[in-house]
Amino acid sequence: MLKIAFDKDYIHPLEKNHRFPMVKYELIPEQLLREGSCSSDNFFIPGIATKNEIIITHESKYYDKLSTLSLSKKEERPIGFPMSKELILREKKIVKGTIECCNFSIDNGVAMNIAGGTHHAFYDRGEAFCILNDQSIAANVLLNEKKGINKILIVDLDVHQGNGTASLFRDREDVFTLSFHGKNNYPFRKEKSDFDYDFDDHTDDYFYLDKLRRHLPEIIDSFEPDFIFYLSGVDILKNDKLGKLGLSIEGCKERDRFVLETCKKNNIPLQISMGGGYSSNLRDIIEAHSNTFRLAQDIFF
C-alpha cells in the first residue's frame, strides 16, 4: 500500500496574501480522497524528528536557535516565514514524515510526503521557505542506520537549484546530488551539485524530457544507488509565478512517470517529497501535485 505522510500541522497559518501557497497541503489530500485515488488508510501521521536525527545534518547551534526561537532578524528574514513554536514543530514533523517514509519505501517500493522538499536549508541556516532539509536529514539517518543502504541518489527536479542539499553533500561519495533547474532563477549564486543541468527560460516539455530521459538512467547506471529521494516540485509549469520554464501539466506528469518507472524498473526504493509549486492558478498546483500520487499508485500498486 502507498503510504503518505500527512498531519494537519502541515497547514500552517500565514498572513493574508503571503506568496507561499500553504493551502495546497490541505487541498491535495482532499483531492486524492475525493476522487478515490487514495483512502484514509494511505495516510499516516508522522512523529517528531529528534535533535539527534536533525544534527546529523544541521549545526547543533542552529537547531537550538530554532527550538528556542532565538534566530536574529537577519537570520530569520531569508526564510520568509515568521518564526513560532508551531512553525518549528511543523518542520520537525515534516522531517520525521520523510524519515518514516524511508522504511515504507524499502518495504513497498515508494512512499511520499505531502510536504517537504526543503532543499534550500543549509547546515547552519535556512532560506526560501526552507528551515530543515528533510530529504538530506532522512538520507543521513538512513545511511547511519546501515540497513543495506550504502549509496543514495537525490533527484531534485524543482525549478530552483537544491543549493542547500548540494552544499550539505559536497565531497561525499555516498550521496550523489542531481539538480535540474532554471538557469536564470533563484538561487542566483548556485552551489555545485554532483550533476547540474541549467535550463533556459521557457524550456518546453520535449527538451526537458529529452534531457531527463538521457541523463537520469546514465547516472543510475554509473552510481548504482541503493535508495533514491525525489523532489517533485511542480514549479516547472509555464504559469508558475516563481519559475521561468515552460512545461505543461502533461509534461510535468510525464516527468514524474519517467522517474517513478525508472526506479521501479531498477528496483530502487523511492521516497518523494513535493517541493515547490507557485502557479497563478491554484487548481494547476493541486492537479500537478496530485498526478504524482496517482502515478505512484498506478505504477507501484
How far apart CA 95 and CA 141 sit, in angstroms, is 11
Q: What percent of the chain has pLDDT over 70?
A: 100
- CA distance readout (Å), 74 to 22, 147, 160, 286: 24, 40, 22, 33
Radius of gyration of the chain (CA): 17
Confidence class for position 60, pLDDT limits 50, 70, 90: very high
Q: Please tell me the pTM assigned to this model.
A: 0.95
**pLDDT for position 278:** 87
pLDDT of residue 25 exceeding 90, the answer is yes
Is the distance from CB of 93 to CB of 48 less than 8 angstroms?
yes
- Is 90 exceeded by the pLDDT of residue 14? no
Question: Which residue spans within the chain are E strands per DSSP?
Answer: 3-5, 43-44, 110-113, 152-156, 175-182, 195-199, 227-231, 270-273
Q: Residue 28 — very low, low, confident or very high, per pLDDT cuts 50/70/90?
A: very high
Section 230-253 average pLDDT: 93
Confidence of residue 18 (pLDDT cuts 50, 70, 90): confident
pLDDT(249) > 90: yes
- CA neighbours within 13 Å on the CB side: how many for 29? 22
Q: According to the model, what pLDDT value does residue 146 have? A: 78
- What gap in Å lies between CA 241 and CA 238, rounded to an integer? 9
At residue 162, φ and ψ (nearest 5 deg) are -80, 70
Residue 53 CA neighbour count, 13 Å, CB half: 24
The pLDDT of residue 147: 78
| Residue 228: pLDDT over 90 | yes
CATH fold of 3-300 reads Arginase; Chain A (3.40.800)
49-74: average pLDDT: 96
Angle of the 282-300 helix axis to the 249-266 helix axis, nearest 10: 20
Q: Is the pLDDT of residue 55 over 90?
A: yes
Where in the chain are the domains? 3-300
Strands 270-273, 195-199: pairing is: unpaired
Cβ(252)–Cβ(275) under 8 Å? Answer: no
User: Which tens digits make up the pLDDT trace of 188-213?
Assistant: 899 999 999 999 999 999 999 999 99
pLDDT at 22: 83
Q: What's the start-to-end Cα distance of the chain, in Å?
A: 7
